[in-house]
Amino acid sequence: MHRLWEILEPARPGDRWSRIFDVFIVSLIALNVAATIAESVASIQTRFGRALDAFELGSLAVFAAEYLARVVSCVADSRFASPVRGRIRFVLTPLAIVDLLVILPFLLIWLDADLRSLRALRLLRVLRIARMTRYVAALRLFGSVARAKREELLLTSALMAMLLVMSSSLMYQVEHQAQPESFPSIPATMWWAVETLSTVGYGDVVPATTAGRVLGAIVAVLGIGFFALPTGILGSGFVEELQKRKKAPTCPHCGKPLEP
C-alpha cells in the first residue's frame, strides 16, 4: 500500500514507475481538455461524436480507479494515517474534491441517472485541468506563493472592494438623474465600476454629464494603479519563493526541501 501511494503521488527523484504514471495522467488530462474543446465544434461532434464518447468513458474509468486507489492507499501518508478518519480527511482535501467532481458523471452512469443531468455535468470535465497542480511544479509554485502572500492579497482585494463600492455610489449620485435607465441603482452601477476599474471599457454604460466623465477618468486611473498592486505582490512572491527553493537543501531520498 505504501508503494502504491508513492506511485500515485508526484514522482520523487529516481522513481521510474511514479514518473511514468505522472506523465500518463498529465497526458490523459491534457487530451481530455482538448477533447472537451473539440467537442464544442459542431462539425467535429457530428463526425467523431462516438469516438469522443468512448474516449470520455475510458478516461472516466481511469480517473475513477485512480481516485479509489488514492482513498485506499492514503493511510500510507502520516497526515491520513487513521484508517477511517484519515481517509475522511483525505476525501475532504481540495484536490480530492476536484477528483470526485471529475468522476461524478461516471458515477451517475452506474447509478442510471437522468441523461439530461449527465449532459449538464459534462462541463465538469474542464475541472480535470485543475488536477495538473498535483504534478506540475510550476502550478504548485503558484499555490505556494498565493499562500505566502495571502494577507497582502486579501488586503488589496479589500481595497478594491472599497473602491468599487465608493465609485459606484458616487457615479450613481452624479448620473442617476441624467441617465436613470443606465444608472438605476448602486448595484446596477457596479457593472460600470467593474469595467472601468478593470480598464476594459466595454462601452455599454458611459457617463454623460461633465461631472460623471471627470469621475470616470479618476476611477479609470485609480483602477490601473490598484490592479498593479496584486501583480507586484505576486511577482515579488515568485522571486522570493524561487530564491528560497534554490538555497534550501533537499533530501537525497525524496527530493523535498529540508526544514531548517
- What are the Cα distances from residue 154, in Å, to 28, 148, 158, 195, 259? 35, 12, 6, 21, 27
**Domain housing 56:** 2-135
Residues 57, 181 share a domain: no
> Where residue 106 sits, what CATH number does that domain have?
1.20.120.350
Give per-residue pLDDT as tens, 36-78: 888 888 899 899 989 988 998 898 889 889 999 999 999 998 8
Q: Which helix (DSSP H) or strand (DSSP E) does residue 116 occupy? A: helix 115-120
Residues 224, 169 share a domain: yes
The three cell numbers of residue 67 are: 481516485
Distance CA 179, CA 172 (A): 9
In a domain, 113, yes or no: yes
92 pLDDT exceeds 90?
Answer: yes
The total number of structural domains in the chain stands at: 2
89, 104, 135 - which closes a domain: 135
115 pLDDT exceeds 50?
Answer: no
Of the listed ranges 84-93, 130-139, 186-195, 246-255, the least confidently predicted one is 246-255
Q: What percent of the chain has pLDDT over 70?
A: 80
In a domain, 210, yes or no: yes
Q: What's the whole-number mean pLDDT along residues 175-184?
A: 90
186-197 helix and 210-247 helix, angle to the nearest 10 degrees:
60
What burial letters (b/e) apply to 144-164, b meaning 16+ CB within 10 Å?
Answer: ebeebbeebbeebeeebeebb
Q: What's the whole-number mean pLDDT along residues 80-109?
A: 83
pLDDT value of position 144: 80
Helix (H, G, I), strand (E, B) or coil at 252: coil
Residues 161, 124 share a domain: no
In a domain, 72, yes or no: yes
Q: What percent of the chain has pLDDT over 90?
A: 23
> Where residue 166 sits, what CATH number does that domain have?
1.10.287.70
The three cell numbers of residue 21 are: 504514471
In a domain, 254, yes or no: no
Residues 226 and 160: beta-carbon distance below 8 Å = yes
Global pTM value: 0.61
Number of residues written out for the chain:
260
Residues 201, 78 share a domain: no
Residues 155, 131 share a domain: no
In a domain, 253, yes or no: no
140 closest CA partner among 21, 259, 257, 251: 257
Within its chain, how far is the Cα of 130 from the centroid?
A: 6
In a domain, 76, yes or no: yes
Of the listed ranges 122-126, 131-135, 157-161, 220-224, the least confidently predicted one is 122-126
Q: Calculate the CA dihedral of residues 17, 23, 24, 25 and round it to 10 degrees.
A: 110
Which position has the higher pLDDT, 138 or 104? Answer: 104
Residues 16, 130 share a domain: yes
Confidence of residue 175 (pLDDT cuts 50, 70, 90): very high
Q: What's the whole-number mean pLDDT along residues 248-252?
A: 58
Neighbours of 252 (CB within 10 A): 9
Q: What's the whole-number mean pLDDT along residues 165-182?
A: 91
